[in-house]
Amino acid sequence: DSGVTQTPKHLITATGQRVTLRCSPRSGDLSVYWYQQSLDQGLQFLIQYYNGEERAKGNILERFSAQQFPDLHSELNLSSLELGDSALYFCARGTSGGYNEQFFGPGTRLTVL
């Protein structure tokens, strides 16, 4: 158990639509990271939140946004979806204490038709 919950597990939607992916880290872990993994591709860092604030931004499209709430769960919002957005989206929790370890959730598989 990585201590991260992601919902939904699978999501199928159409082009042009908007979806929200949810991530809940273990209680006490302040950092949340979002990654995108396309088919047969590596892991692309999207964005990091720490204690409710954006800390780092990677290759995140303008159509995507995220936020972290006071209870430390996070949501990744994907809008104006395109076929190429079909991918696995992982959330990872960062351990407290600044040791940088990241533990990944089970992921949300998004399919855009």
The residues near 8 (Cβ < 8 Å, ≥ 6 apart) are 21, 22, 108
Q: Which of residues 55-74 bind other proteins (CB under 8 A)?
A: 55-58
Distance, in Å, from the CA atom of 94 to the CA atom of 100, rounded to the nearest integer, reads: 6
Per-residue contact string for residues 11-30; x = within reach of other proteins by CB under 8 A? --------------------
Whichever of 49 and 85 has its CB closer to other proteins, that residue is 49
Q: Are 51 and 65 in contact (CB under 8 A)?
A: no
State yes or no: residue 53 binds other proteins (CB under 8 A): no
- Which chain residues interact with other proteins by CB under 8 A? 2, 33, 41-45, 48, 55-58, 90, 100-107
